[in-house]
């Protein structure tokens, strides 16, 4: 039987050629770029990561947890369904197509997604793990990338016409806990390594009400079945709220909305993001239902539920004591201070972009906005001086310029294809012009349509076209704009 997958190729000496593109970091987003670039000949690429193998949030690969996006949001399918690196091709390679077919799953287990990405990363010859990038600099007309082999310490240097940063994010540790990480206080990113200790602890507190916080709370709730243990869940958010998952609501995760958001003034973008927290920082309805069901079952026949769930709480201080951890807290709406004493704290407080030292040689060249953040164009290219002719692109570091879809896996393939098209200077991957039914704002040149047809006469005043409408004037309120063709495809 003919194998449907291409045979792995031996990677050439990375220092022997000038690479068209070097990717730094191999998470899902740069892995999507590597997979799509693998079919673009004769593009020469190299992807470097200091980890020994591909690994995706290993501390949160809990049994029973799934992706929050459908399986079509794999590395390639939404751009190239014929790719040999699709999730369906992975299932075919592992003889799992029929089980998947009968399972009727739209959202795949997280552990399976991790294994799928690992399968792709191990097969692509451009992916080189165990390689720690030390510096990236502009040298003449090329980027110079210095990296170290983690296993033997040997140093290497390669040159590239373009660089794509996919270094991922790092765990956020709130200021009161900055110096407390250890056995008593840990980030949810390390949850599985500490789960046995947390299960046995008398009193555990989880901070944060995103999906990770909910999953950690639910896992501990199910595992801590004894009568004595207490579990507390605190969050600054106003509620333990469900993720926005309506079909039109999800259109905020389309290239159409990305283009619209990118075109808004910086102050408007900064105001919008906190207001959209339920689009990307809330909890799946299924997880909320599972937590409620578990609490309900515990209360049958007079059972006592030793669990506290409290929103609108900010931890203002924390310290380690002889009895565990003491948290100074404040309830927002009541404006009242109180103290929580607990044995263990799990910080499900999210992730943020990192500033790696490797970029120091480029840092002073990067143009920034009023808040000191890099300016990034619609093609995900960082703004640099004109003499830097090579593109410096970024993945998952442009929330402030591209909106809520930035960390979403569903836009990963489209962003990777956008970057490839920009690098190649042509549409090596055809991308759709329209991806949403919603019209997000007025396109350039759009005006309010006429109220009714009118036959002009010689006595009519001159007709005025393309009248600018001042924001907030109300001149267009309640009317549907005619969607204009974007000036460029994302």
- Which of 138, 127, 115, 117 lies closest to 47, judged by CA? 127
Whether residue 190 is contained in a domain is answered as yes
Q: Do 202 and 291 fall within a single domain?
A: yes
Q: Do 233 and 324 fall within a single domain?
A: yes
Q: Do 338 and 357 fall within a single domain?
A: no
Q: Do 368 and 239 fall within a single domain?
A: no
Whether residue 251 is contained in a domain is answered as no
E strands, 140-241, are 142-149, 155-165, 169-171, 185-187, 203-207, 230-234
Where is pLDDT greater, at 181 or 298?
181
Q: Do 381 and 344 fall within a single domain?
A: no
- Which of 217, 236, 244, 177 lies closest to 307, judged by CA? 217
Q: Determine contact, residues 159/61, Cβ cutoff 8 Å.
A: no
Q: Do 343 and 290 fall within a single domain?
A: yes
Cβ-based neighbours of 365, under 8 Å, separated by 6 or more: 138, 384, 385, 388
pLDDT at 174: 97
**Domain end call among 351, 368, 388:** 351
User: How far is the C-alpha of 26 from the C-alpha of 260, rounded, in Å?
Assistant: 29
pLDDT at 483: 30
Whether residue 155 is contained in a domain is answered as yes
Cβ-based neighbours of 321, under 8 Å, separated by 6 or more: 341
Q: Determine contact, residues 342/325, Cβ cutoff 8 Å.
A: yes
Whether residue 271 is contained in a domain is answered as no
Q: Do 194 and 340 fall within a single domain?
A: yes
Whether residue 112 is contained in a domain is answered as yes
232-251 confidence digits (pLDDT tens): 999 999 999 999 999 999 99
Q: Do 81 and 148 fall within a single domain?
A: yes
Whether residue 119 is contained in a domain is answered as yes
Q: Determine contact, residues 38/82, Cβ cutoff 8 Å.
A: no
Q: Do 97 and 44 fall within a single domain?
A: yes
- 154, pLDDT greater than 80: yes
Whether residue 13 is contained in a domain is answered as no
Whether residue 413 is preceded by a cis peptide bond, meaning omega within 30 degrees of 0, is: no
Q: Does the global pTM surpass 0.85?
A: yes
118-149 confidence digits (pLDDT tens): 999 999 999 999 999 999 999 999 999 999 99
CA 487 to chain centre: 26
Grouping H, G, I as helix, E, B as strand and the rest as coil, residue 152 is coil
Whether residue 287 is contained in a domain is answered as yes
Q: Do 333 and 373 fall within a single domain?
A: no
Grouping H, G, I as helix, E, B as strand and the rest as coil, residue 135 is strand
* Domain count across the chain: 2
Q: Do 201 and 303 fall within a single domain?
A: yes
Grouping H, G, I as helix, E, B as strand and the rest as coil, residue 59 is helix
Range of the domain at 234: 175-243+280-351
**Domain end call among 405, 424, 443:** 424
**Domain end call among 326, 351, 376:** 351
Query: What distance, in Å, lies between the first and last C-alpha atoms of the chain?
Result: 40
- 457, pLDDT greater than 60: no
- 453, pLDDT greater than 70: no
CATH number reported for the structural domain that contains residue 302 in this entry: 3.50.50.60
pLDDT at 474: 34
Q: Mean pLDDT, the chain, as a whole number?
A: 89
């Amino acid at each position: 039987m003919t194998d449907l997958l291409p045979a792995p190729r031996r990677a050439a000496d990375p220092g022997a050629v000038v690479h068209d593109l070097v990717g730094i970091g191999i998470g899902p987003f740069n892995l999507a770029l590597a997979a799509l670039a693998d079919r673009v000949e004769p593009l020469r690429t190299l992807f470097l990561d200091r980890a020994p193998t591909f690994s995706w949030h290993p501390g949160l690969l809990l049994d029973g947890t799934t992706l929050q996006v459908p399986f079509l949001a794999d590395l390639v399918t939404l751009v190239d369904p014929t790719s040999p690196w699709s999730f369906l091709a992975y299932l075919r390679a592992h003889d799992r197509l029929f089980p998947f077919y009968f399972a009727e799953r739209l959202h795949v287990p997280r552990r399976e997604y991790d294994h799928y990405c690992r399968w792709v990363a191990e097969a692509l010859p451009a992916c080189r793990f165990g390689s720690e990038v030390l510096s990236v600099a502009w040298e003449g007309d090329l980027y110079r990338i210095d990296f170290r082999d983690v296993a033997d310490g040997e140093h290497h240097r390669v040159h590239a016409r373009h660089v794509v940063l996919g270094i991922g994010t790092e765990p956020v540790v709130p200021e009161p806990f900055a110096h407390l990480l250890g056995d008593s206080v840990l980030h949810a990113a390390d949850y599985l390594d500490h789960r046995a200790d947390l299960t046995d602890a008398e009193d555990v507190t989880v901070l944060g009400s995103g999906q990770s916080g909910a999953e950690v709370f639910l896992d501990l709730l199910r595992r801590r079945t004894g009568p004595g243990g207490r579990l507390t869940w605190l969050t600054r958010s106003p509620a333990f709220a469900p993720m926005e998952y309506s079909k039109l609501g999800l259109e905020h995760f389309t290239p159409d909305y990305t283009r619209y958001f990118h075109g808004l003034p910086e102050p408007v973008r900064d105001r919008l993001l906190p207001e959209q927290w339920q689009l990307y920082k809330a909890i799946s309805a299924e997880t909320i239902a599972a937590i409620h069901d578990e609490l309900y079952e515990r209360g049958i026949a007079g059972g006592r539920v030793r669990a506290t769930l409290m929103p609108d709480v900010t931890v203002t201080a924390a310290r380690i004591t002889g009895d565990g951890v003491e948290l100074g807290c404040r309830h927002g709406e009541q404006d009242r201070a109180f103290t929580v004493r607990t044995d263990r704290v799990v910080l499900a407080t999210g992730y943020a972009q990192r500033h790696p030292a490797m970029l120091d040689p480029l840092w002073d060249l990067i143009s920034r906005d009023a808040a000191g953040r890099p300016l990034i164009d619609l093609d995900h290219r960082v703004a640099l001086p004109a003499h830097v002719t090579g593109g410096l692109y970024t993945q998952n570091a442009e929330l402030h310029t591209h909106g809520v879809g930035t960390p979403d896996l569903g836009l990963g393939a489209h962003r990777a294809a956008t970057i490839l098209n920009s690098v190649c200077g042509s549409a090596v991957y055809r991308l759709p012009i329209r991806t949403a039914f919603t019209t997000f704002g007025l396109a350039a040149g759009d005006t309010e349509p006429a109220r009714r047809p009118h036959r002009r006469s010689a006595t009519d005043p001159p007709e005025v076209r393309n009248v600018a409408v001042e924001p907030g004037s109300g001149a267009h309120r309640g009317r549907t704009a005619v969607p204009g063709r974007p000036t460029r495809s994302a």
